DNA sequence: TGTAATATTTAGATTTGCCTAAATTTAAAC
DNA sequence: GTTTAAATTTAGGCAAATCTAAATATTACA
């Protein structure tokens, strides 16, 4: 449907617009894609003709709904392949991006969805970035557990996955409740435990089991 | 290293030269790649410049060792991905070719080799075609078991994988020995059993266990 | 062996995506 | 408010891969 290049442009513009309200700047796109501003201008006109984005000279660009859909589909594929490479093929999380940049352009919705299923519908990629589902909906941030957070993240405890009395009592014993702020100081590879700082004060070691049962939002 | 298009040309020429000794004809290549003879001629000159094949006007082409290596690497990737799609993602064997045509161009030797390992170093793809190993060596034909053969194949029994007395006695009881010719009449999806005709005569039902322990060569 | 049919190559163009250099617009600084 | 700097766009061109139409070579066969 769309070319390799078109998908890369749309994904770059999508990421550049993620935080800011303003349209993506020509120079910023060029830098992200390791190309020249003049090439970007050429391409923006073509993508505009195809109704994938709205372009006004000198004003930067914004994706249309169609453009956003294509971009998010590409992000979905990219992140699913990264999960595959790390979880199934035992790649390191630092070496998968490059390969996923290629795999994200494979055209087959069925493949993407079967891969998603094979991976047990992961919500986050190896870098902690959220993976949109088949309907292109991103996971609710409150679905994220502490396990899925990255080193140095600062998060707020929003809920528990395990609602057993045992778990809740243990949390009380740790002085760990809803609304607490946690800073991830260490992630131990050996047993997936974490060292965290609570409310900028005391330190705590949390086992993998605890981390996996705490819903948090990233600050 | 090589483009999508270059790999496709080399693979096509490789397959066309597989049986015949003669070089691949321009028209045959064009047909295989759904393109025009004139485009093929253009491309052959470029591939010749890159020492991937030997081209003499009007004489057809033959791959150089380098060209053959690139072609076989591509075949390896294609067939490994097909195994992945069928064995891991549960695609039907009839729907994987198209997707593998895309996946075969992903550039990463490490990925290919890790995928190979993840799939437990398969020797044949879902269509029964042999998969070259990391060193680009094709499996010895005598490594092929009856299980890996396709419907209507006619094969010769060349050996047994299970050398237990139990198995050999059972074979004797079935009147099935080395040198016998088997025609595969049916492959039962339910239990992977096969109905075969022995030496053009009597019919036999062989369980999956039996098939998986018979080394054969395709006639 | 000469002619017709077939295969192949050349010529001239097109599309996609990219580049450099020059011109133009917008934003920043004085 | 000019002037200057930065961002962006235009102009002109190039390489890869393709196409159609025309020219040439090979092969088939009368
Ligand atoms: Mn990535
Ligand atoms: Mn990622
Ligand atoms: Mn195939
Ligand atoms: Mn195959």
Nearest to A54 by CA among A64, A69, A46: A64
Per-residue confidence band for B169, with pLDDT thresholds at 50, 70 and 90: confident
pTM above 0.95, yes or no: no
Residue nearest to nucleotide C17 (CA to C1'): A39
Q: How far apart are CA B11 and CA B30, in angstroms?
A: 13
Residue B82 CA, ligand 3 centroid: distance in Å: 7
Instruction: Collect all residues of chain B within an 8 Å Cβ-Cβ radius of residue A102.
Output: 106-108
Provide mean pLDDT across the span B33-43.
96
Q: How far apart are CA B14 and CA B65, in angstroms?
A: 11
pLDDT of residue A210: 94
Residue nearest to nucleotide D26 (CA to C1'): B58
- Residue ranges of chain A that CATH labels 1.10.10.10: 4-63
Give the angle A77-A78-A83 at the CA atoms, nearest 5°: 95
Contact A111 B90 (CB under 8 A): no
pLDDT at A160 exceeding the cut of 90: no
Q: Are B173 and B133 in contact (CB under 8 A)?
A: no
Residue B83 CA, ligand 4 centroid: distance in Å: 8
Reading the block at residue A107, the tokens are 């055209």
3-state secondary structure of B156: strand
- Residue ranges of chain B that CATH labels 2.30.30.90: 146-218
Closest listed ligand to the CA of A98:
1
Q: What percent of chain A has pLDDT over 70?
A: 100
Q: Which of A88, A102, A111 sits opposite B106 (nearest CB)?
A: A102
Give the H/E segment covering residue B218: strand B214-218
Residue of A nearest to B96 (CA): A111
| DSSP state for residue B103 in the 8-state scheme | H
A58 touches strand D (CB under 7 A): yes
Residue B80 CA, ligand 4 centroid: distance in Å: 9
The residues, ordered by sequence, that sit 6+ positions from A118 with a Cβ below 8 Å of its Cβ are A84, B88, B89
Q: Which fold has domain A4-63?
A: Arc Repressor Mutant, subunit A (1.10.10)
A95 touches strand C (CB under 7 A): no
User: At residue A186, what are phi and psi to the nearest 5 degrees?
Assistant: -145, 145
Per-residue confidence band for B10, with pLDDT thresholds at 50, 70 and 90: very high
Q: Are A37 and A26 in contact (CB under 8 A)?
A: yes
* Spacing of B90 CA from D21 C1' in Å: 48
Q: Are A83 and A65 in contact (CB under 8 A)?
A: no
Reading the block at residue B9, the tokens are 């040309």
Q: Which of A89, A91, A114 sits opposite B89 (nearest CB)?
A: A114
Between residues A141 and B169, the one the model is more confident about: B169
Greatest mean pLDDT range, A153-167, B17-31, B104-118: B104-118
CATH of A146-218, one of 1.10.275.10, 2.30.30.110, 3.40.720.10, 2.30.30.90: 2.30.30.90
pLDDT of residue B70: 98
pLDDT at B165 exceeding the cut of 90: no
Between residues B141 and A105, the one the model is more confident about: A105
């Amino acid at each position: 449907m769309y070319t390799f290049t078109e998908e890369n442009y749309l994904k770059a513009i999508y990421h550049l617009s993620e935080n800011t309200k303003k349209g993506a700047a020509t120079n910023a796109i060029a830098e992200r894609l390791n190309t020249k501003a003049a090439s970007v201008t050429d391409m923006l006109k073509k993508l505009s003709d195809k109704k994938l984005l709205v372009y006004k000279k000198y004003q930067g660009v914004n994706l249309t709904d169609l453009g956003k859909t294509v971009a998010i589909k590409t992000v979905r594929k990219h992140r699913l392949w990264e999960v595959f490479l790390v979880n199934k093929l035992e790649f390191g999380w630092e070496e998968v991006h490059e390969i996923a940049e290629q795999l994200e352009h494979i055209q087959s919705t069925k493949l993407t969805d079967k891969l998603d299923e094979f991976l047990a519908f992961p919500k986050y990629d190896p870098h902690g970035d959220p993976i949109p589902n088949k309907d292109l909906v991103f996971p609710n941030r409150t679905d994220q557990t502490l396990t899925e957070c990255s080193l140095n993240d600062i998060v707020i405890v929003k809920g528990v996955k395990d609602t057993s009395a045992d778990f809740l009592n243990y949390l009380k014993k740790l002085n760990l409740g809803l609304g607490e702020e946690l800073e991830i100081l260490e992630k131990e590879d050996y047993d997936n435990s974490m060292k965290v700082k609570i409310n900028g004060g005391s330190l705590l070691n949390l086992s993998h089991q605890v981390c996996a049962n705490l819903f948090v939002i990233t600050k």
